[in-house]
């Protein structure tokens, strides 16, 4: 990303000193002022005009304007070109300026936010734009972070603070950050003023999950990583205050680095129009050359005989020079084949289509009061041609909300409800919830529908009690009780919170914890358990356990994890229960629910003491500590007794499976690009029906080296193409599997899916492998990329854009999606509760993913259909209008005389025919919105680009040329033999011109009426109104009165009155109209009846059902049919258990108040020793010591 600034060298390492602006200024670091706008008051005019004249047509009209200013060659007034050209430039400039004004306004709002900065010994309020690198800033609860800060200290114990990263990644669950131990006590202003530490770190980059640096202070070095950074865009939560030192500011912050540059996007139709304008100009030159040669020949052979009557001007020296001047004159006369009004009309259409999107009530979300918004007016028809969709997961496909849905306890399932015939009843919003009024501490927002579970809880069933006791004890959640009974849970992952909340509502309330105890309220009774150990989760173990001592002195181990892991460690006595539970788990997984198995074990006191000594020893060794701990964990987690299983619904956005299924039917390929781990991404893939059990193969690419990735990609590709060729060739000899792969994309019937990890994707995007990756991905029905960085998201989109001539769309809701959104042809932002960075960078925005279906299949398809019909008709009518001059040239001595009155030439595209074609372009529809959604295959016409392409353009121009031929030669032939009622001949050119002009207006009006599928009152008004206006203006301009006022400007006096009063003239007009219209009508009739397209068939069905009521709006809910069981923990990560048992994330007051009265805390616990050692060797980065405490997700 480029930046405006004085610093021209590439920054390799950053040096920042606290409280030393003079020192930091010499490095010319960016200030905290941000700029997302494209223009300023000085650059707007040149840059905007440069962008507008990238349109070949605008440059073409500028050249024509210059030619029209030369009187020797111009036969038309200059105002016929300059007025429409200036109008187009001004309208476009105003639109661009308005868009940029809102960007300026947004920038100004952000730049003027207030922040408390430590300056000259005191905290002073400063605007964000004035914050500088090296400044120390104070943040208070619920404030946005102003810049990328190094956390120095906070109001929480041990320098902890909690942040919400919704603006960065769409995640609303809180993340933990912790200051260095040496700075965590700098709470006093004086101490902070004296802080003169220097940070040496990496240069600005866009990696949201990574930071590498070192703090130099008091002759010591302290390592810095991402867990000690607060990034711009985060919000401080549940922390009274904190202080941080600015490391990156403004455009160099990671948030802004991920925004990318504002790109100038143009549609494929725009690009095609540029090509067509060049073609038309070449055709224009050819016609000009033909007529110029004709003029030269005519002047040489016949013109000399007329020099007495038509003498040459003084500068005309020869017939050749006369032909040269005639060439330029005809270029001006014939330029209306591409009128400037075409571009005015296109802009009006796009604006109208954008307002239709904004006004669509079917895309309005009442929960968030958010309407769909077209943030650009230039890409609407591109929405009808999308072939690839790149979607974020969290916040886009899912809500990042986990709901406790069902469970299996001791072989009995709970969560479904049944009627009196024992048939399962579908749960809807109207279904009555279980009454939890018996529990004063219940969460009122929790909903459960099966009352049987409450009944067995009240009966004090031991298995059910043990189930919920396990859920209330085995977790890493932190409670916060703001007032009596008002509990708030801070969970590191949403499903942890869902499980603890479920236990809370069923009478086992997790009330408080200290490093050594957990306090529950079990069915109204306070019970305190001694916490002996936490066996933390990691990606290998896929489970977590806690060891507690209950008030009766019994030691118990409670464990929860993936069923495949737990089942392997069960005691033989649980075998029968395991089979039953396994069936329940398969049933849950088939409904798309995320499952966990729960088990416990009674521990012998002597055995536990021996094991604990081994654990303390293993926790002190330096080498292979993690391996030795894993062995001990494995040892004690054997012989478990199964309790049951939980089923959590990872709530998808409304209508996601249906939308994805519908878009797949429209031949749109959907790729999911997420920062989540592979397992989670695959679970969502199954939930969305993107992955299914009946797929032939799901290829997982997870190689760590270039060679491994290459081998896996090639192997998968050979598998697909090899099988396809064997099955199609019937056992013929196998040919090179890498030849002409694109041929097989359409012929492969089997369904495959590709899942690729972030580190593998980095290798796959290398130049030598990117073609193999793309070929394989295009052969697969579903592609999921997980653990990808924001830059990798953009690179994947760019790869498809570069090598596939298709339209791409990217949709996301977080700052980490901005690069992807800006790279794609069309960017869509999900608006609502989870940050606005994606929306601000997008072209379209709405509140729910399922609105994408209507945006593409209805608005996109209609916009493309309307724009194509508009362009076809516009070129047809203008070729018909203009080429009459070409035929006339052969009969007027190639003198560049116009057939029509000059006023007719000026008004034809602006007044007489502009509104009917606009009405068609705005309101026409081949099928209604219900059928557009019911038959997604209709969308394929846009992808195949069949409605307007070079072939269609050629056919339109051919029809226009044929119409112009008939328009000229039929009246010409008729006038040569026709007489008036009084016996006199029609010999004047003016009557001939009026006849042709009238025929032309009627023909194009009839043609647009025949081409219109969907009639509205506006269409009727514009078509018949335009004809009425034509005749009114015609008679007015050729009246005696206006001739008397301006005789030189209105020479056609009385022509309309005299010619249109003759019946034979109307017969000529009728004959001309019939001959022009009937052939096209016959061809259209035969095509629809003999070779109907899908659109024709659907329209016929629509007409036959016209009397029926509106059909279904929302399709039947798509249910997941997978039997794959989801694995443990949505975003759970190793390290949180140690944070809890250390007590670092607990205030001292809450820790001491929760202890048993009179009990002295032990001087040291095993886990505290581990944490002390961890702090002593904290100079080693997290990459070497293990995973960070809290996951920084990138979805």
Q: What's the chain's Rg over C-alpha atoms?
A: 38
Quick one: angle between helices 1166-1176 and 605-618, nearest 10?
10
Hey, how many other C-beta atoms are within 10 angstroms of the C-beta on 12? 7
Contact status, residue 471 vs residue 508, Cβ threshold 8 Å: yes
For residue 845, the surrounding DSSP H or E stretch is strand 844-846
* DSSP at 1029: H
Write phi, then psi, for 24 (nearest 5 degrees). Answer: -70, -30
Contact status, residue 603 vs residue 615, Cβ threshold 8 Å: no
Rounded to an integer, what distance in angstroms lies between the CA atom of residue 603 and that of residue 609? 10
* DSSP at 767: T
Rounded to an integer, what distance in angstroms lies between the CA atom of residue 1028 and that of residue 1032? 6
Write phi, then psi, for 898 (nearest 5 degrees). Answer: -85, 150
Q: What is the DSSP string of 318-365?
A: SHHHHHHHHHHHHHHHGGGGS-THHHHHHHHHHHHHHHHHHH-GGG-B
* DSSP at 170: S
Rounded to an integer, what distance in angstroms lies between the CA atom of residue 536 and that of residue 543? 8
Q: Which residues contact 589 (CB under 8 A, 6 or more apart)?
A: 595, 1122, 1123, 1124, 1125, 1126
Residues tagged active-site:
392
Residue 725 has, within 13 A of its CA and on its CB side, a CA count of: 18
Q: What is the DSSP string of 197-257?
A: -EEEEPPS---TT---EEEEETTEEEEE-GGGEE-TT-EEES-SEEEEEEEE-GGGSHHHH
From residue 499, alpha-carbon distances to 189, 482, 493, 1042 in Å are 43, 21, 11, 86
Q: Which residues contact 504 (CB under 8 A, 6 or more apart)?
A: 439, 441, 442, 443, 446, 472, 487, 510
Rounded to an integer, what distance in angstroms lies between the CA atom of residue 89 and that of residue 83? 10
Q: What is the dihedral of CA 770, 775, 776, 781, to 10 degrees?
A: 130
Write phi, then psi, for 296 (nearest 5 degrees). Answer: -65, -45
Q: What is the dihedral of CA 707, 711, 712, 713, to 10 degrees?
A: 100
Contact status, residue 810 vs residue 828, Cβ threshold 8 Å: yes
Contact status, residue 809 vs residue 388, Cβ threshold 8 Å: yes
For residue 639, the surrounding DSSP H or E stretch is none
Q: Please, which residues bridge with residue 560 across strands?
A: 544, 598
Q: Please, which residues bridge with residue 118 across strands?
A: 123
From residue 161, alpha-carbon distances to 241, 476, 539, 1093, 1142 in Å are 9, 17, 26, 63, 16
* DSSP at 909: I
String of b and e for 656-688 (b: at least 16 CB within 10 Å)? bbbbbbbbbebebbbbbbbbbbbbbbbbbbbbb
Contact status, residue 252 vs residue 29, Cβ threshold 8 Å: yes
Least Cα distance to 1139 among 1081, 1106, 1188, 1075 occurs for: 1188
Rounded to an integer, what distance in angstroms lies between the CA atom of residue 963 and that of residue 1006? 13
Q: Which residues contact 948 (CB under 8 A, 6 or more apart)?
A: 269, 272, 867, 868, 871, 872
Hey, how many other C-beta atoms are within 10 angstroms of the C-beta on 332? 22
């Amino acid at each position: 990303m480029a930046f405006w600034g004085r610093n021209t060298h590439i920054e390799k390492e950053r040096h920042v000193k606290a409280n030393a602006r003079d020192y930091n200024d010499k490095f010319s670091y960016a200030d905290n002022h941000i700029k997302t706008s494209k223009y300023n008051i000085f650059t707007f005019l040149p840059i905007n005009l440069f962008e507008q004249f990238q349109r070949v047509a605008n440059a073409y009209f500028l050249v024509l304007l210059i030619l029209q200013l030369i009187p020797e060659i111009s036969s038309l007034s200059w105002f016929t070109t300059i007025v429409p050209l200036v109008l187009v430039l001004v309208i476009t400039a105003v639109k661009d300026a308005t868009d940029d004004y809102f960007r300026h306004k947004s920038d100004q709002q952000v730049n003027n936010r207030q922040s408390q900065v430590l300056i000259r010994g005191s905290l002073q309020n400063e605007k964000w734009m004035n914050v500088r690198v090296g400044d120390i800033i104070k943040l208070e609860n619920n404030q946005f972070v102003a810049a990328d800060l190094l956390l120095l200290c906070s109001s929480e114990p041990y320098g902890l603070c909690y942040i919400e990263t919704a603006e960065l990644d769409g995640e609303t669950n809180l993340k933990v950050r912790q200051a260095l131990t040496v700075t965590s006590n700098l709470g006093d202003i004086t101490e902070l003023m004296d802080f003169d530490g220097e940070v040496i770190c990496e240069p600005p980059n866009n990696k949201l999950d990574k930071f590498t640096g070192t703090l130099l202070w008091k002759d010591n070095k302290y390592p810095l990583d991402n867990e000690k950074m607060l990034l711009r865009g985060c919000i401080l939560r549940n922390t009274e205050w904190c202080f941080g030192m600015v490391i990156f500011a403004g455009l160099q912050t990671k948030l802004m680095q991920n925004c990318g540059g504002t790109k100038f996007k143009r549609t494929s139709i725009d690009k095609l129009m540029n090509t067509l304008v060049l073609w038309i100009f070449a055709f224009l030159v050819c016609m000009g050359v033909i007529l110029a040669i004709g003029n030269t020949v005519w002047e040489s052979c016949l013109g000399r005989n007329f020099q007495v009557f038509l003498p040459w001007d003084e500068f005309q020296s020869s017939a050749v020079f006369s032909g040269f001047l005639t060439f330029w004159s005809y270029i001006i006369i014939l330029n209306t084949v591409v009128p400037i009004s075409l571009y005015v009309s296109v802009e009006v259409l796009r604006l109208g289509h954008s307002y239709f999107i904004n006004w669509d009530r079917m895309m309005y979300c009442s929960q968030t009061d958010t309407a769909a918004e077209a943030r650009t007016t230039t890409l609407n028809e591109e929405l009808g041609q999308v072939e690839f969709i790149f979607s974020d997961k969290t916040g886009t496909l899912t809500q990042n909300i986990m709901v406790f849905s069902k469970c299996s306890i001791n072989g009995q399932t709970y969560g479904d409800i049944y009627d009196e015939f024992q048939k399962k009843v579908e749960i809807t919003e109207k279904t009555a919830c279980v009454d939890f009024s018996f529990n004063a501490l219940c969460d009122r927002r929790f909903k459960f529908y099966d009352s049987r579970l409450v009944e067995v809880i009240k009966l004090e069933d031991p298995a059910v009690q043990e189930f919920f006791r396990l859920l209330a004890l085995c977790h890493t959640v932190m409670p916060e009780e703001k007032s009596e009974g008002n509990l708030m849970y801070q969970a590191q992952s949403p499903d942890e919170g869902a499980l603890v909340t479920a236990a809370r509502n069923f009478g086992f309330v997790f009330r408080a914890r200290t490093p050594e105890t957990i306090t529950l309220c079990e069915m109204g009774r306070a019970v305190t358990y001694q916490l002996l150990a936490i066996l933390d989760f990691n990606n290998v173990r896929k489970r977590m356990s806690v060891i507690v001592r209950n008030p009766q002195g019994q030691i118990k181990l409670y464990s929860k994890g993936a069923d495949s892991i737990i089942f392997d460690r069960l005691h033989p006595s649980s075998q029968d229960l395991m089979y039953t539970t396994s069936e329940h788990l398969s049933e849950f997984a088939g409904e798309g629910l995320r499952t966990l198995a729960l088990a416990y074990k009674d521990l012998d006191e002597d055995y536990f003491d021996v094991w604990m000594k081994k654990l303390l020893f293993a926790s002190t060794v330096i080498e292979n500590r993690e391996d030795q701990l894993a062995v001990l964990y494995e040892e004690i987690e054997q012989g478990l007794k199964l309790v049951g299983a939980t089923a959590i619904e990872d709530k998808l956005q409304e209508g996601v499976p249906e939308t994805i299924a519908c878009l797949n039917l429209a031949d749109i390929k959907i790729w999911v690009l997420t920062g989540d781990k592979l397992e989670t991404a695959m679970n969502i893939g199954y939930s969305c029906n993107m992955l299914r059990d009946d797929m032939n193969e799901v290829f997982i690419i997870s190689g760590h080296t270039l060679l491994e990735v290459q081998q896996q990609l090639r192997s998968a590709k050979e598998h697909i193409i090899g099988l396809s060729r064997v099955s199609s060739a019937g056992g013929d000899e196998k040919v090179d599997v890498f030849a002409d792969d694109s041929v097989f994309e359409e012929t492969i019937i089997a369904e495959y899916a590709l899942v690729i990890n972030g580190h593998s994707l980095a290798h796959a995007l290398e130049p030598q492998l990117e073609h193999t990756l793309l070929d394989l991905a295009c052969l697969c029905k579903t592609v999921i990329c997980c653990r990808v960085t924001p830059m990798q998201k953009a690179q994947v989109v760019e790869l498809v854009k570069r090598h596939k001539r298709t339209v791409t769309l990217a949709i996301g809701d977080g700052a980490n999606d901005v690069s992807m959104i800006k790279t794609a042809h069309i960017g869509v932002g999900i608006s609502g509760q989870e940050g606005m960075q994606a929306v601000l960078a997008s072209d379209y925005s709405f509140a729910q993913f399922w609105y994408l279906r209507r945006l593409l299949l209805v608005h996109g398809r209609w916009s493309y259909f309307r724009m194509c019909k508009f362009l076809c008709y516009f070129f047809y009518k203008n070729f018909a209008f203009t080429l009459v001059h070409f035929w006339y040239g052969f009969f007027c001595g190639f003198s560049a005389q116009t057939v029509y009155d000059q006023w007719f030439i000026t008004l034809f595209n602006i007044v007489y025919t502009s509104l009917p074609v606009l009405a068609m372009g705005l309101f026409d529809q081949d099928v209604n919105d219900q059928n557009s959604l019911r038959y997604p295959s209709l969308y394929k016409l846009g992808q195949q680009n069949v409605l307007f392409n070079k072939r269609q353009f050629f056919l339109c121009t051919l029809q226009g040329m044929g119409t112009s031929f008939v328009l000229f030669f039929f009246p010409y032939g008729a006038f040569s033999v026709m007489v008036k009622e009084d016996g006199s001949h029609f010999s004047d050119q003016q009557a001939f011109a009026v006849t042709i002009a009238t025929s032309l207006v009627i023909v194009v009006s009839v043609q647009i009426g025949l081409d219109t599928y969907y009639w509205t009152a506006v269409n009727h008004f514009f078509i018949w109104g335009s004809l009425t206006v034509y005749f009114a203006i015609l008679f007015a301009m050729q009246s005696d009165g206006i001739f008397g006022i301006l005789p030189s400007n209105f020479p056609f006096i009385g022509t309309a009155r005299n010619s249109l009063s003759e019946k034979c003239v109307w017969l000529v007009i009728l004959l001309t109209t019939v001959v022009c219209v009937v052939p096209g009508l016959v061809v259209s009739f035969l095509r629809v009846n003999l070779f109907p397209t899908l659109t024709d068939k659907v329209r016929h069905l629509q007409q036959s059902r016209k009397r029926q009521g509106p059909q279904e709006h929302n399709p039947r809910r798509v249910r997941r049919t997978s039997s794959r069981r989801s694995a443990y923990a949505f975003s759970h990560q190793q390290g949180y258990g140690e944070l809890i048992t250390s007590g670092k994330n607990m205030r001292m007051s809450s820790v001491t108040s929760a202890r048993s009265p009179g009990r002295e805390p032990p001087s040291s616990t095993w886990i505290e020793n581990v944490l002390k050692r961890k702090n002593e060797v904290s100079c080693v980065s997290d990459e070497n010591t293990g995973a960070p405490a809290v996951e920084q997700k990138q979805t």
